[in-house]
Amino acid sequence: MAILRKVKKKIKDAVSKKKKIVSAKKISPRRAKKEISLATVKEIPGMHELVAQRIKFFTPQSPAAPRMLEELPGSFGQDKIILQVRDPRWLHTYWEVTGASFERLQHQLGQAFYSAKRILRVYDVTDLIFKGNNAHRFFDIEVGSQANNWYIDTNGPGRSWCVDYGLLLPDGRFIMIVRSNIVQTPLDGPSWITDEEWMIPEDMFARLYGMGFGFGKSSPVGKAWKERLLSSPGIASMASPVRKAKERKFWLMVNTELIVYGATEPDAKVTIQGKPLKLRPDGTFSLRFALPDGRQVIPVEATSADELETRTITPIVTKETKSHSNLRERAQA
Amino acid sequence: MNKGYLCIVLHTHLPFVRHPEHEDFLEEEWLYEAITETYIPLIEVFERLVNDKVDFRVTMSLTPSLISMLSDGLLQERYLKHINQLIELAHKEVERTRWQGEFHALALMYLHNFSRARDTFERYRRNLVTAFKGFQDLGKIEIVTCGATHGYFPLMDICRESVRAQVKVAVSHYEKTFGRRPNGIWLPECGYHPGHDEILKEAGLRYFFGDAHGVLHGTPRPKYGVFAPVYCKSGVACFGRDLESSKQVWSSIEGYPGDYYYREFYRDIGFDLDYEYIKPYIHPDGIRVNTGIKYYRITGSDNKQPYNAHMAWEKAAEHAGNFMYNRERQVEYLYDFMQKKPMIVSPYDAELYGHWWYEGPMWLEFLMRKIHFDQKTIRMITPTEYLLENPRNQVLTPSMSSWGWKGYSEMWLQGSNDWIYRYLHQSSARMTELAKSHSQNHCNGVVKRALNQALRELLLAQSSDWAFIMGTGTHVSYAVKRTKDHILRFTTLYEQIKSGSIDENWLRDIEYKDNIFPDIDYRVHQ
């Protein structure tokens, strides 16, 4: 009994660990591998700051919960795997398996449970009713016990896919835990199927095809799309064209402004360079000017409310700018 | 006789950002900037064209979330405050630049533009949607709808009930706003997944737009490429995007907006001027932001030259002429080749015009004037008009596609944002469960309110903008917070509805905060 309890605890630990740790996976650029027929997945180290937030998911809810949950739950307590299409070649899948299900499996499998690998089995189920054993082909991806989502390179545009998450035992048996929905990847070139009534000769279609992508009139079928992918500008509403990178980032900007301020009787009329200005209720005023190089003559004239007396004060400001720059070679240490 | 058609589509969208709980909110500036720099300039372009009796056609998608913000009293009030602040700043700038003739002229230009923007805003009683409705009623523009909150449909395929809710909520919101049913839809991010056309058909929609490869890689092959619409099996038409005309405007390398005489977006006085001086006009926390006053042109080197509005206008006219010339040649070539009038569909993000490409609205105006007066080869048309004149089209199934980065779903499904789908899909499934278990209309008032609010929260969480922002890496924390907030609010509502203990005070509070779609009916999520 004690051994069993220990084992149970071990499983629980493993499961809760899985909830807390989420591995971030990214994939290699799509053109990196042309010839691959089976899937491979690459991991790029370094997590985005967002992914880190997922680590905090698991918050148990007491019955007397506050008005609103504080954090997103780490799991929903169900066995489930969802598959979705990213592009003609790549799929994305995420899954969740409850601790109870793992416990049940441990009971059934005994020691073999611990040497089993967690895998995704990816089936090509194009044009068939999938019964679990009639796929055109399948391939496995070992995902480790801590992963809960994965990008799958199918290298198979225009085909249907289904994924099982389960255990691969040392003797080669596969125990399916959850099976995904079926998805279809889009074609990455024109269809081979033509419609008799709307048929078009190949060379003419090639022209239209190239023109549709804005690559002139003689682009071979399929090529225009690849050219577009290569030159994809990353169209997006809130993005802006890239600023050119400078070789050295150092820079200096200096501007000058001039503040002219003063005070007079609150009911006086004041002009500056002949243009009237508005006094504050206490008779003070303040104006701010961008100050270019050169000489500025700035007569400030105040006229008393009874228009009998006028006073003028004229600041004269001269500005000149010198600049000097020096780029040294870094000293050898 | 014309030899082909040109259909300019402006996709006009901003995510629903409205925070009554804060006095000032950084992300609300997206709306204010777009109003001053894009929406009002576009309205003024349309007004001038109508006044001068220039016949033109523009197809616009106004998304339900944008319409909701433009017609929201609080945001209207705040915009007015914002534009008044800008006018005050422009007055100061006119003074400050007195000894620098080039800048002084620009300060006067901004003062004039901002004042006119305020006038236009007031003239339409602060609700710019009525302006666009007016142009639609005149038959000059056709307004299409969009997903209710701009959810990205291909990644919702696992829960089509949510796609249906996005579409149906949008359609009824459109009807309420414009007094008629929409004919077409701009699928958010141009994201199409085979089969979703059935949902559009259910909602009474007759067409949507697809990216070029969606149509070109359709099955069977499209006989006319992207130069004629196709029907999906459901009978809903798909208009494919022409990339040649797109590139001329979009491309960051060869596109018009990069011309050296055009205004430089990055040199804004919000960043350039002395901190103490500019402080009252940037974010209250002291974060420097764009004010909209920019004095330089792109120039082509780091030594930026002052902007010259007159020269920029000349350029815009020249570019409009160039665009028209290229479309004429394109149409003539295709007409000979296809033995049929080609349809050139050129969609753009509306916010590109004015906000990013300052001279964009001017360019559009020149283009429409030139097309009206200077040529006979091309005719501007809306999709509805095209289908009336050309009802017979090929039937095919477009392939899954979007107009985003790399053409599919990667922008919204990558390391930085893939975590959201676990929650979005689960919430969708729960919403379906709630709608099913409350399918009779005799649930009491509070339960019904909670159910409706649950759908609002779900829709708000689904905005593709959040995943997009996480993908681009700016404003990330806000996008994460919005996603979490709405999912958490949804989840709380779900649990309260299930347990029959709805906290009415809290419900009232989130109804007040997330007040989008007041007439929503949760039963559309089926």
Please give the single-letter amino acid code of residue B175.
Answer: E
Count other C-beta atoms under 10 Å from residue A216's C-beta.
11
pLDDT of residue B219: 95
In 3D space, the residue among A330, A300, A333 whose CA is nearest the CA of residue A315 turns out to be A300
Please give the single-letter amino acid code of residue B112.
Answer: H
pLDDT tens, N- to C-terminus, chain B (526 residues): 899 999 999 999 999 999 999 988 889 999 999 999 999 999 999 999 999 999 999 999 999 999 999 999 999 999 999 999 999 999 999 999 999 999 999 999 999 999 999 999 999 999 999 999 999 999 999 999 999 999 999 999 999 999 999 999 999 999 999 999 999 999 999 999 999 999 999 999 999 999 999 999 999 999 999 999 999 999 999 999 999 998 888 776 778 999 999 999 989 999 999 999 999 999 888 889 899 999 999 998 888 999 999 999 999 999 999 999 999 999 999 999 899 999 999 999 999 999 999 999 999 999 999 999 999 999 999 999 999 999 999 999 999 999 998 999 999 999 999 999 999 999 999 999 999 999 876 678 999 999 999 999 999 999 999 999 999 888 899 999 999 999 999 999 999 999 999 999 999 999 999 999 999 999 999 9
CA distance B328 to B10: 21
In 3D space, the residue among A290, A263, A140, A184 whose CA is nearest the CA of residue B195 turns out to be A184
Residue by residue, DSSP assigns A17-78 as HHHH---------TTS-SS--S-------S--HHHHHHTT------SS--SS-SS--S--SS
- Radius of gyration over alpha carbons of chain B, in Å? 23
Q: Could you tell me if A299 lies within 8 Å of chain B, comparing CB atoms?
A: no
According to DSSP, residue B297 is labeled B
pLDDT band at A163 (very low <50, low <70, confident <90, very high): very high
Least CB-CB distance to A48: which of B215, B337, B415? B415
Whose tokens are 């780091």? That residue is B302
pLDDT of residue A81: 98
Interface ipTM: 0.93
- As given in the structure block, the two tokens for residue B274 are 């002395």
**A237–chain B nearest CA distance, Å:** 6
CB B469 within 8 A of CB B475: yes
In 3D space, the residue among B386, B407, B465 whose CA is nearest the CA of residue B243 turns out to be B407
CA distance A262 to A259: 10
Contacts of A233 in chain B (CB under 8 A): 250-253
pLDDT band at A66 (very low <50, low <70, confident <90, very high): very low
pLDDT of residue B286: 85
Q: Under an 8 A CB cutoff, do B488 and A209 touch? A: no
- Site from B408, B425, B511 to mutate, A interface, most A CB atoms within 10 angstroms: B408
pLDDT of residue A2: 47
Contacts of A187 in chain B (CB under 8 A): 217, 219, 399
Least CB-CB distance to A292: which of B99, B222, B226? B99
Q: Could you tell me if A223 lies within 8 Å of chain B, comparing CB atoms?
A: no
Q: Which residue has the higher pLDDT, A90 or A249?
A: A90
Q: Under an 8 A CB cutoff, do A212 and B226 touch? A: yes
In 3D space, the residue among A180, A89, A90, A93 whose CA is nearest the CA of residue A132 turns out to be A180
Per-residue pLDDT at A58 exceeds 80: no
Reduced to 3 states, what is the DSSP secondary structure of residue A326? coil
Instruction: Tell me which residues of chain A, numbers 97 to 126, contact chain B at a CB-CB cutoff of 8 Å.
Output: none
Tell me whether strands B4-12 and B343-349 are parallel, antiparallel or unpaired: parallel
Report the range of poorest mean pLDDT among A195-209, A232-246, A247-261, B87-101.
Answer: A232-246
**A297–chain B nearest CA distance, Å:** 11
**A230–chain B nearest CA distance, Å:** 9
pLDDT of residue A38: 32
- As given in the structure block, the two tokens for residue B47 are 């007004």
pLDDT of residue A212: 84
Per-residue pLDDT at A241 exceeds 80: no
**A229–chain B nearest CA distance, Å:** 6
Reduced to 3 states, what is the DSSP secondary structure of residue A110? coil
How does pLDDT run across A122-134, given as a tens digit for each residue? 999 999 999 999 9
Q: Under an 8 A CB cutoff, do A236 and B468 touch? A: yes
Residue by residue, DSSP assigns A269-310 as EEEETTEEEPPPTTSEEEEEEE--SEEEE--EEEE-TTS--E
Residue burial A141-174, b: 16+ Cβ < 10 Å; e: rest: bebeeebbbbbbbbbbbbbbbbbbbbbbeeeeee
Helix (H) or strand (E) holding A248: none
Q: Could you tell me if A266 lies within 8 Å of chain B, comparing CB atoms?
A: no
pLDDT of residue A68: 59
Tell me whether strands A310-313 and A300-303 are parallel, antiparallel or unpaired: antiparallel
Q: Which residue has the higher pLDDT, A74 or A306?
A: A306
CA distance B218 to A194: 10
Contacts by B91-95, CB closer than 8 A, 24 or more apart: B92/A288, B93/B269, B93/B293, B95/A287, B95/A288, B95/A289
How does pLDDT run across A270-282, given as a tens digit for each residue? 999 999 999 999 9
Least CB-CB distance to B403: which of A50, A235, A246? A235
pLDDT band at A330 (very low <50, low <70, confident <90, very high): low
**A243–chain B nearest CA distance, Å:** 9
pLDDT of residue B413: 97
